[in-house]
Chains A and B, each alone.
Chain A
Amino acid sequence: MTGLVYKEWKQNRWFILSMIPCGFAPLLALLLLREQITSADNIALRIGGLIAGFLAAGALQLLVLRGDDHKLWGYWITATADGYKGFLRVKYEMIFGMIVLFLFSLQFVDMGYCAVAADMKSKDIGSISSIALLLGFTQILFRAIDIPFTYRFGSKKGSIIKLICMVTLAIILGAVLIFSTEHIDHIIDTAKDLFRENSSLILSVGLVLCLALYYLSYRITCRLYLKGVEQYDS
């Protein structure tokens, strides 16, 4: 396993370390758009920067999946002592680690910004850490979807198939919404009531569900990997 960790580090260390500068995105947004700053906490600008950082970090996390979709590599790693399961586990752990590093950097920078801004304006500045946390879990969920597609179909084909699946899902959802316009208000009201009464439980279950789905994604990828290897390089 140490060998696999070493391989991933040598191959992807810049992508891993790039998670740290991604955490500076809210600060960068403030610097770039400093003329539009109106209040001390600049919450809207910082959230904008946070989303930009989230997208950049997501793209970089996907880049670590490239380069492994070759038949020869697939056969070779399957024949090693750790096997393809060990390889996939290290990959999943690494991507999870990248998300954690991004989140840590983001929250740390935000804490520093709040401290400096509070000193300058002599009042407490709102933190965006809780929004960052939610985005972090969204990122875990997205990666849980991305990785199986990449290893089953290869990185290029996988992203196209994923896009097709997403569009199809969006169309189906849209159709369901259109055909149930009579009930839509009732559904929204019920959902609102449910969330108002159990918001903390729903939120915490949702977060744990993201983690569970990430693990499930690993198990699914393990099942699909060898099928995917047969299709690589073709």
Chain B
Amino acid sequence: MTAKKENAKRLGIFLLIVSLFVLLYFVFIKPMNESNTVFFIIYYCLFSFSPAIASLITRAVTKEGFRDMKLHLNLSGNLKWYLLAFGLPLIFFSVRILLPVIISGHSSWLRGFTFQKVLATVFMLASLTAVQSIGLLGEELGWRGYMNQKMEPLFGTFVTCLIGGIVWSLWHLPMDMAGWLDGECTLSYSLMMCGGRLLLLTCFGTFLMWLTKKTDSVFPAVVAHFMFNQSQGAWGELLAQGNIPENADLGMISSVFEYATMILLVVVFIGLLLREKKKSPKTA
């Protein structure tokens, strides 16, 4: 079997296992709503680790072995990339959330953003990143540590970013659709959420892919993913301390910043990925 066919087979098995976990989530959506225990078992014990579990099963089934899992920290020489992994999501969400508020003249909404509170939040995020981000290894070991590695030789860098992002966001589908399936929101709202996530994760995925390739480790991606999840919440918490009217709408400017930041992120990191690919020696 050629290397490409072997890669395609491994990728197929990996995606099949991951989709089985997604199916499992859909099957148990009702019992999960009724019982905390079922939710804990299905979501926390199985689903949140499913990409890592799928990569390990695939490695075992295809007899690929467990080498090159990118589990070394590779701290020396890469500390700056770890710092970028910590700082970029924070900056990304600051620009996305805070800049439109300031530019549209609603600075009074940012009453919660005192120097002291922002500093405390950043320090808290830094310390939490060091000890709690490890849980996201359950995702990154699968997505960046396995799936992207198999996809890139098959589809090239650009398409890997695209398909990888789509797969990553489709994996979140049960969470997005849960509201509609429970009858808490409309289908159009759920689909809109899916679309938003698809766009955001595809864009952010390029940064995570670049980080993993640059450092040859999944840990910077783990840090960036953790910060991606936490910084939204942290800024949201500070925003909630300001007196924002319930029907607040910034209109066009909000959308501009929402999409401009994503486009900038994609352009920069796709560019860097392609540049590094050009630089790397070609193998037969």
Indicate whether A137 sits within 8 Å of B35 (C-beta atoms), given known contacts A204-B120, A204-B124, A208-B126: no
B284 at the interface (CB under 8 A from A): no
A87 to chain B, nearest CB (A): 14
B278 smallest CB distance to A (angstroms) = 29
* Interface 9-residue window, one of A49-57, A58-66, A71-79, A115-123: A115-123
- The distance in angstroms between the C-alpha atoms of A161 and B181, with both chains bound, is 64
Residues of B within 8 A of A111 (CB): 40, 44
Residues of B within 8 A of A207 (CB): 123-124, 127
Report B145 CB to chain A, min CB distance, Å.
17
Given A111-B44, A115-B40: A201 and B127 interface contact (C-beta under 8 Å): no
Q: A137-B131, A200-B117, A211-B130 are in contact. Are A116 and B37 (CB under 8 A)?
A: yes
Instruction: Beyond A114-B36, A211-B130, list 4 extra A-B contacts (CB 8 Å).
Output: A93-B75, A201-B119, A204-B127, A207-B127
What's the least CB distance linking A85 to chain B, in Å?
A: 10
Give A200 to B117 CA distance when docked, in angstroms.
Answer: 8
- A–B complex contacts, Cβ < 8 Å, 14 sampled: A1-B72, A100-B131, A100-B134, A112-B40, A112-B44, A112-B45, A119-B36, A133-B132, A201-B123, A204-B121, A204-B123, A204-B124, A207-B124, A208-B123
| Bound Cα distance from A5 to B127, whole angstroms | 25
CB distance from B277 to the nearest CB of A (A): 26
Partner of A103, one of B39, B44, B123, B131: B131
A198 within 8 A of B: yes
Alpha-carbon gap, A93 to B74, bound state (A): 11
Cα(A93)–Cα(B134), bound, Å: 14
Instruction: Give the distance in Å from the alpha carbon of A137 to the alpha carbon of B127 in the complex.
Output: 9
B10 vs chain A, min Cβ distance (A): 24
Cα distance A115–B124 in the bound complex, in angstroms:
26
- Bitwise interface map of A from 97 to 108 toward B, beta carbon under 8 Å scored 1, else 0: 001110110001
- Give the Cβ gap from A181 to chain B, nearest Cβ, in Å: 33
Number of A-B residue pairs having CB atoms within 8 Å of each other in the complex: 71
- Which of A5, A104, A115, A210 is the most central at the interface, judged by chain B CB atoms within 10 Å of its CB? A115
Q: How large is the interface on A (under 10, 10 to 19, 20 to 34, 35 or more residues)?
A: 20 to 34
Q: Which of B137-181 contact A (CB under 8 A)?
A: none
Q: How far is the CB of A201 from chain B (nearest CB, A)?
A: 4
Which DSSP category, helix, strand, loop or mixed, fits chain A's interface? helix
If A111-B44, A116-B37 touch, whether A200 touches B120 (CB-CB below 8 Å) is yes
Q: Given that A112-B40, A115-B36 are contacting pairs, would A136 and B131 also be in contact in the complex, using a CB cutoff of 8 Å?
A: yes
**How near does chain A come to B218, taking the closest CB pair, in angstroms?**
14
Q: Is the CB of B73 within 8 A of A93?
A: yes
Q: Any chain A CB within 8 A of the CB of B233?
A: no
Contacts of B126 in A (CB 8 A): 208, 211
Interface residues on B, range: 20 to 34
Residues of A within 8 A of B135 (CB): 104
Residue of A nearest to B34 (CB): A119
CB of A100 to closest CB in B, whole Å:
5
Question: Considering residues B36, B119, B124, which has the most beta carbons from chain A within 10 angstroms of its beta carbon?
Answer: B36
CA distance A89 to B73 in the complex (A): 11
Pair A104/B134 contact, Cβ less than 8 Å: yes
- List of B residues within 8 angstroms of A198 by Cβ: 116
Contacts of B39 in A (CB 8 A): 115
Q: Which residues of B contact A119 (CB under 8 A)?
A: 35-37
The CA of A140 and the CA of B130, in the complex, are separated in Å by: 11
- Tell whether, in the assembled complex, residue B72 and residue A2 are in contact, meaning their CB atoms are under 8 Å apart: yes
Residue of B whose beta carbon sits closest to that of A202: B120
Q: Which A residues between 127 and 162 are near B, CB-CB below 8 angstroms?
A: 133, 136-137, 140
CA distance A93 to B122 in the complex (A): 23
Look across to chain A and name the residue whose beta carbon is closest to the beta carbon of B130: A211
Measured CB to CB, the closest approach of chain A to B233, in angstroms, equals: 15
Residues of chain A contacted by B72 (CB below 8 angstroms)? 1-2, 5
What mask results when residues 89 to 109 of chain B are scored 1 for a CB within 8 Å of chain A, else 0?
000000000000000000000
CB closest chain-B residue, reference A120? B37
Contact of A201 among B116, B131, B132, B134 (CB under 8 A): B116
User: Contact partner of A118 among B36, B75, B117, B130, CB < 8 A?
Assistant: B36
Tell me which residues across on chain A come within 8 A of B116, comparing CB atoms: 198, 201
Q: Which residue, B117, B128, B131, B134, has most C-beta atoms of chain A within 10 A?
A: B131
A205 located at the interface, meaning its Cβ lies under 8 Å from any Cβ of chain B in the complex: yes
One digit per residue, 1 when the CB lies within 8 angstroms of any chain B CB and 0 when it does not, for chain A 192-227 equals 000000101101110110110000000000000000
Bound Cα distance A137, B45 (Å): 25
- Tell me which residues across on chain A come within 8 A of B124, comparing CB atoms: 200, 203-204, 207
